[in-house]
């Protein structure tokens, strides 16, 4: 038994020695890296006075649904709802690495527990990118906030962060930035992953994948102290379908819709004040949680190939927050349906086909007030929001919504956060 025991002990020491060598080598290699781990535990309670267009079971709130009458005239969507979640708790790490040539290197990985679709309490990737910084210029590769979200977004408790007035998306991208004194230029090529475009098959990244052309963004910013102001332009080119069916015959089709969207933003901050606003003239920005989409404007009767026209929406928001420990704030958002660029295809007069979000909305108004209590590592807040959506019938000659009526929702959000 002794030879076996000695051999067993020797193997154990060899294993420990190899582990120490590995750890020592890893530690030596890690000396050039700096890690900053962070996270938050976030609880969200919400109450709505009626059913709404939303995701994540009501946590990502958009706007109230239209009235739907039963045979006795009762509104089926006028039922209140509420819930309590911790899905947006998150963990992350910021990494500062060794230089690559003359470039400073850094990276970020951040996850939460929102999941995807209706699969909640599952780890979801929020951010994952690397950054090369040469001083005046920097190159980012990976998943980060969409450039239309940018550096200006409202400080509110609702997890939609101002959507659909504020573009909201995190997307894989290649982004280049050049900074010279107070001016910053941004250019980005953007793809789709978790936030995708609407189309004939619903929401999917397939339309951009088939396009083989990424989304492009170009922007310019001016920064001076607490002031930031800028503008940007976005190009999106989708291929909604690659084949069609006419009767029982299947045809290969070459369809594409290309749109331009524009945005302007401004923000001023100091130790007490946060004042910000953004305005977006959007065409088919459903991949950024925006209103709109596109419709069919013509159909080839022989092959079924379709041509499309974008639905344009003008969206703006304004946000003011004051204070340091006790912070009251207000938020106002307004969106207007500007219709389509061309007349819609409707051979029967009322059978036009639209793909998108809020395509039956004429306008949307949201106003909210909040109060938060903030101390190191803790935040508690209460927010009230009133949203009014005007629904109506479609005018196929211009894509606008007419003969409107208003639907309102009262929403209350209560949040508690521990940050570390």
Residues 299 and 308: their CA atoms lie apart, in Å, by 9
Residues 59 and 61: their CA atoms lie apart, in Å, by 6
Angle in degrees, CA 81, 87, 93, rounded to 5: 155
Per-residue confidence at 15, pLDDT binned at 50, 70, 90?
A: low
Q: Averaged over 344-352, what is the pLDDT?
A: 92
Mean pLDDT value across the chain? 92
Q: List the alpha helices (DSSP H) in 167-283.
A: 206-211
**pLDDT given for residue 122 in this prediction:** 87
**pLDDT given for residue 211 in this prediction:** 97
Q: Averaged over 172-190, what is the pLDDT?
A: 97
Residues 139 and 21: their CA atoms lie apart, in Å, by 36
pTM: 0.89
**For the segment 20-79, what is each residue's pLDDT rounded down to a tens digit?**
444 444 444 578 899 999 999 999 999 999 999 988 777 899 999 999 999 999 999 999
b vs e for 231-250, b when ≥16 Cβ sit within 10 Å of the residue's Cβ?
ebebbbbbbbbeebeeeeee
Strand partners, 30: none
**pLDDT given for residue 242 in this prediction:** 96
pLDDT at 202 over 90: yes
pLDDT at 18 over 90: no
CB 241 within 8 A of CB 207: no
pLDDT at 236 over 50: yes
**pLDDT given for residue 31 in this prediction:** 81
**pLDDT given for residue 29 in this prediction:** 53
Nearest to 219 by CA among 182, 265, 270, 258: 265
Per-residue confidence at 344, pLDDT binned at 50, 70, 90?
A: very high
Q: Which residue has the tokens 């196929």?
A: 396
**pLDDT given for residue 118 in this prediction:** 74
Element (H, E) at 28: helix 2-30
Question: Which stretch of 16-25, 33-42, 266-275, 306-315 has the lowest confidence by average pLDDT?
Answer: 16-25
Per-residue confidence at 117, pLDDT binned at 50, 70, 90?
A: confident
Residues 276 and 299: their CA atoms lie apart, in Å, by 44
pLDDT at 372 over 80: yes
CB 284 within 8 A of CB 257: yes
């Amino acid at each position: 038994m002794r030879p076996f025991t000695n051999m067993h002990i020797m193997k154990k020491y060899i294993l420990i020695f190899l582990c120490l060598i590995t750890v020592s080598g890893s530690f030596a290699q890690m000396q050039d890296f700096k890690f900053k781990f962070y996270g938050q535990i976030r609880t969200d309670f919400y109450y709505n006075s009626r059913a709404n267009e939303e995701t994540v079971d009501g946590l990502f709130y958009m706007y109230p649904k239209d009235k739907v009458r039963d045979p006795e005239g009762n509104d089926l969507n006028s039922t209140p709802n509420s819930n309590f979640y911790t899905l947006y708790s998150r963990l992350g790490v910021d990494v500062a690495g060794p230089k690559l040539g003359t470039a400073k290197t850094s990276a970020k990985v951040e996850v939460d527990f929102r999941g995807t679709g209706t699969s909640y309490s599952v780890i979801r990737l929020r951010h994952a990118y690397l950054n090369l910084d040469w001083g005046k210029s920097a190159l980012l590769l990976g998943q980060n906030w969409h450039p239309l979200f940018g550096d200006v977004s409202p400080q509110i408790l609702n997890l939609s962060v101002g959507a659909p007035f504020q573009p909201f998306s995190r997307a894989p991208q290649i982004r280049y930035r050049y900074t010279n004194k107070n001016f910053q230029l941004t250019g980005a090529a953007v793809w789709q992953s978790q936030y995708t475009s609407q189309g004939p098959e619903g929401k999917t990244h397939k339309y951009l994948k088939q396009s083989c052309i990424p989304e492009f963004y170009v922007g310019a910013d001016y920064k001076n102290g607490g002031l930031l102001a800028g503008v940007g332009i976005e190009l999106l080119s989708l291929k909604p379908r690659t084949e069609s069916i006419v009767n029982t015959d299947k045809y290969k089709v070459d369809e594409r819709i290309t749109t331009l969207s524009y945005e302007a933003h401004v923000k001023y901050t100091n130790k007490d004040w946060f004042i910000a606003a953004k305005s977006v003239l959007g065409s088919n920005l459903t991949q950024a949680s925006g209103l709109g989409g596109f419709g069919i404007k013509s159909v080839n009767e022989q092959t079924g190939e379709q041509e499309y026209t974008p639905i344009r929406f003008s969206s703006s928001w304004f946000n003011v927050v004051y204070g340091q420990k006790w912070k009251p704030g207000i938020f106002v958002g307004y969106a207007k349906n500007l219709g389509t660029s061309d007349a819609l295809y409707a051979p029967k007069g009322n059978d036009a086909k639209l793909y998108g979000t809020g395509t039956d909305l004429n306008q949307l108004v949201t106003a909210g007030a909040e109060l938060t209590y903030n101390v190191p590592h803790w935040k508690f807040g209460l927010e009230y929001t009133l949203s009014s959506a005007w629904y109506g019938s479609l005018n196929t000659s211009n894509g606008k919504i007419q003969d409107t009526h208003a639907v309102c929702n009262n929403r209350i959000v209560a949040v508690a956060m521990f940050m570390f």
